[in-house]
Amino acid sequence: MKVKDRRISRPQHIQQLMTEQINLLRQNGELDPIQRARAIAYLSTVSLTSMRDGELEKQVKELEAKLEEVLYEIEKNRNA
């Protein structure tokens, strides 16, 4: 099976990769069920962490944008 090359630079990329790998593991009947379950649990944890990180990244960007707006308004009022 050919593995798709992926650029991993954002939390969403990690989520996509983990989803792909989890699905591959679920379809693989050759692995020991316990090993497969452990691997899926681990990859799920990584995926959940990347989801949280992605949400935090979004919130930080929103806060930075709001802060810039407030600072701009303060500076504008100061110079008026």
pLDDT per residue, tens digit, the chain (80 aa), is 566 777 888 888 899 999 999 999 999 989 999 999 999 999 999 999 999 999 999 999 999 999 999 999 999 899 87
Q: Write down the pLDDT at residue 47.
A: 92
pLDDT of 9 reads 85
> Among 10, 77, 14, which Cα is nearest to 46's?
14
- What does the alpha-carbon distance between residue 39 and residue 33 come to, in Å, rounded to a whole number? 10
Cβ neighbours, 10 Å, residue 80: 5
Q: What is the pLDDT of residue 4?
A: 72
